[in-house]
Chains A and B, each alone.
Chain A
């Protein structure tokens, strides 16, 4: 299986579009209701972070197979300000925007795999995977 789709994030409506992609692909791949909600929520958090902190960027979702396993991968990329202290932003409750600070640590718990690469002044890339059981 190899299905891939992406949404450019520039405004609030694009966040809704990105969610929709996740909803459709996770359903198509056969994820259960709870995992569908987890995937859609994770995408929403990442897309909103792009919109709030980097102004624009992109969310890609893809179905991919790896030695007998199928997973859904979310890739969030932006060329925004980057994150200087990753340990800090991964703490529950840490926010610079008056939010709940639940997004990034939440995405890590919602998904099975979570990697974040960021360079100050260059941007941020986050890759999160949910495996189909």
Chain B
């Protein structure tokens, strides 16, 4: 299974709408980096509104993808993290330090726009 990556102006938008199994998550990581490279996108929003569970493995993949994207010159914002998911991440002792987040997709795009223009 592959997660679709949409291009909108200089941004890439991803809405994760499937259950994230390990391989899909790894594939997504690769696909996103390829797409950043190919399009020269400067900003990426990954929307997690429908994701009901993030375990340590997926958290690590998300954290890594943010850092790898930065190396390619793209800023990633995670949006729509559910309250229940935020609570379980804290229980797991995972603080996605240095990972920019926003409440929803719209705010995520605004954040990118401010940072890229300002």
Contact = CB atoms under 8 A, between A and B. Distances in A.
B53 A19 contact: yes
State which size class the interface on A falls in. Answer: 20 to 34
B93 A105 contact: yes
Contact of B93 (A15, A40, A44, A109): A109
Nearest to B57: A48
Nearest to B89: A41
Interface in A1-58: 12-13, 15-16, 19-20, 23, 33-34, 36-38, 40-41, 44-45, 48
Contacts of A16: 19, 21
A37 B22 contact: no
B34 interface: no
B57 A99 contact: yes
B92 A110 contact: yes
Contacts of B85: 37
A103 B56 contact: yes
Contact of B88 (A15, A19, A37): A37
Contact of A100 (B23, B83, B94): B94
> Which size bracket describes the interface of B in this complex?
20 to 34
A34 B84 contact: yes
B22 A102 contact: no
A100 B60 contact: yes
Interface string B51-92: 011111101100000000000000000000011110110011
What's the dominant secondary structure at chain B's contact region?
Answer: helix
7 contacts: A15-B21, A34-B88, A37-B82, A48-B22, A102-B92, A103-B56, A106-B92
Contacts of B93: 92, 102, 105-106, 109
Most chain B beta-carbon neighbours within 10 Å: one of A34, A37, A92, A100: A37
B84 A33 contact: yes
Given A38-B91, A106-B92, A106-B93, A99 B60 contact: yes
Nearest to B58: A44
Contacts of A105: 93
Contacts of B84: 33-34, 36-38
Given A19-B53, A37-B53, A48-B57, 15 more contacts: A12-B21, A15-B22, A20-B19, A33-B83, A37-B52, A37-B87, A38-B91, A40-B52, A41-B54, A44-B53, A48-B55, A102-B59, A102-B92, A102-B94, A103-B55
